[in-house]
Structures are given as C-alpha cells and as structure tokens.
Amino acid sequence: MYKGLLVDKSLIGKDPHFMEGCSFCHKGDMRGASKDKAHKGMVARPSDDPSTCGACHDKIAATYKTSLHYTTAGQKHGVAGRFSHKELKSFEGKVFEQSCRSCHASCGDCHVKGPTIGGISIGLIKGHKFVKRDEGKTCAFCHGGRVYPEFTGEYGGSADVHYEKGMICLDCHSKTDAHGDGRLYQSRKDLPDKPACVNCHKAGTEKTEKAKSAHVTHKGRVSCQACHSAGSYRNCINCHLGQGATSRPDFILGLSPRDKKTVTTLRTVPVVRDTFLSAGIKMEHFDALPNYWDTAPHNIRKRTERTRSCEVCHEEKKGFLTKDTLIKGGSKANEGLLYILKPIKK
C-alpha cells in the first residue's frame, strides 16, 4: 500500500470522513504499492460532483446542486440581457462554460481547502480537516475583490461595524443562502432568504427621535446602506479589453435598476462594449442594461455624514449620479438611474 499522506495523521481515526479511506471520495486504488498505481483513476477534486458528499450529506448535496454558489447562474443572467438570442448561445458555450463556470464553488472549496482564484490557492485549510467555517480562507478568497476587504477595513476607511463586533459572514448569510434550497435562481437578489437589516434592527426600536423620524420618512424610498454605508467602496471599470480592468474607490447614489422607486448605493458594472469581442460577441443589446447595479457595501456604520446632516443629500447632492458623472461611453440605460432630489421643506 502507498503510505504517502497529505492528511494530518492526528485526524485519522478521529474524523469520520476518513473512516472509509481516501478512495471513498478520491477513488484510485488503495491497494496500489506505488504512487502511480495508487493514484490511477484518482479524482483530485471529488466534491466537484456534489453526489460524492451526498453519499453521507444527502439533503445538503441535493440542494447544493441548484445553489448559486454551484451553478454560478448569477454571472450568466447578470449579463444575458445585453445579448441577442444568437449571442447568448455563443456566450454560454465560449465564455460561460469555459470561464465563468470555472469559478463555481465545490463543497471542498469551503470546507476542506481554499478555492483556487486566478490559479492561486492556499491549499488545505487545516491538514485536510473538514471545517464548518473559516471565512478568512474560504469566503474571503472568492469575495475578496471587494466585499471582504470592505468588511474588514482592508480596502481603506473603517471596517464594517458588524465585523468590529465580531460577526462573520454566516451571522447574516444563512445556510440556505450558501447551500441553496433546491430551487434554481437566476440571481442572489431572487433569494427569499437573503440578509435584511430589519431582521435584527426592528423598526420602532431606534434610540433617538431623529433616527425614528428618518427611518419613517425614508421607508420604501431609500435603502439602509444609502445612509449607513461609511463611504467609498470599490468600483471596477474598463473591463476586460481596451484599457483593461481598473479598480478605484467611489461612492455612488442613484435609483436601483431593479426597483426604480428606491434610491440606493450603486456599484459600477465592469463591462464595456468590447468586453466579449474576442469571442465574437458584440453585445447587440448592450444599452438594455445599465453600467451600475444596486449594491450593499459591507462598510456599514451607525453614524455617517448622511445620518448627521440632511443637507449632504438634499442640498449638496453628494455622491448622486448626474449626467456629468455617468461613466463615459456607457449604456444609454444609465440615464434611467438618475434621481433628482426635492429640496427639504422648511
């Protein structure tokens, strides 16, 4: 038998995942006397197929097959509106399956090893120990471009108040949010179990009359983060061709493209007209979608300059999109996100 081990020996005999031997998940030949013989037919990433984990965790594996973490459907449907029917077919074959789908998260990417991003992985989290949560080595790797650095304050400014109080991703994002509920969704915005500030911060429990009045006045018209985002957050522009991708801090307020009644924080969508030109896709309906999506920056503070002064929005109009600040050469749909504030009644 080949005796080279990539598993912390202290785990063997204690962790039930190893009771059936390596080949239970990784296949290969446990009776092989050499590395080559033992690894013949080996599956390096067994949890790429959820049914492997489903042999023991059947309920979770069954729903995970349809979760957005596994299908990455959000990446396809987020841009699909820019394509003609013919282009969408081409995108699915040439771009989505070859590129976007490669970013799907397997069970092992969250519970055994860090995911591979851009060819880089931290490898096994704890000597092949199966962990329930280790967000700094799992969530942060995939969501480390913008969300996690904002949450921890590494992107600049102050950290999110929830992070400072010791909260982690799964304190707001539920198991169902991560594992799916068995239904296919096109976007995380469609999830019925997505986080909501009011789950913890109930209306009417404010400590000051000013806060209570502000919440009543803006209810249904302004998102929580529009006032409570601490400030600049990461925005990516000029992706992928032409000038290449560039990120920069920005703070943008405008109408939500998904709900034109609500003013919220917006994040620049990293797509330009020639993004998929190398795949022969011109995006015939590029102007059907804007260059900004509603976003929830993870840099929340109780007090911000907008909670301290109404004039910051209603007089100075600070951070609001205008025709002059719209991304140059962007989609015609961007103008639909402009919001004209009414002056404060005195």
Alpha helices in 116-182 (DSSP H): 139-142, 147-152, 161-164, 169-172, 175-179
Q: What value does the mean pLDDT of the chain take?
A: 91
- Residue 239 pLDDT level (bands cut at 50, 70, 90): low
Find the helix or strand (DSSP H, E) in which 268 lies.
Answer: strand 259-268
Residue 3 has pLDDT above 60, yes or no: no
Over residues 308-321, the pLDDT tens digits come to 999 999 999 999 99
Question: 92 with 279: CB under 8 angstroms?
Answer: no
> Between residues 171 and 157, which one has the greater pLDDT?
171
How far is the C-alpha of 95 from the C-alpha of 83, rounded, in Å?
Answer: 13
Question: Any idea which of 193-197, 294-298, 342-346 has the lowest mean pLDDT?
Answer: 342-346
Q: For the segment 23-48, what is each residue's pLDDT rounded down to a tens digit?
A: 999 999 988 888 899 899 999 999 99
CA distances for 148 relative to 10, 70, 94, 298, angstroms: 32, 20, 30, 7
Res 7: pLDDT: 84
Could you report the per-residue pLDDT of 76-96, keeping only the tens digit for each?
A: 999 999 999 999 999 999 999
Q: Which two tokens stand for residue 298?
A: 């993870």
Q: How confident is the model at residue 117 (pLDDT cuts 50, 70, 90)?
A: confident
- CB-based contacts of 159-164 (< 8 A; 24+ apart in sequence): 159/299, 160/230, 160/298, 160/299, 160/300, 160/301, 161/300, 161/301, 161/302, 162/300, 163/298
pLDDT per residue as tens digits for the range 130-145? 999 888 888 998 888 8
pLDDT for 2 equals 46
Q: What is the pLDDT of residue 217?
A: 94
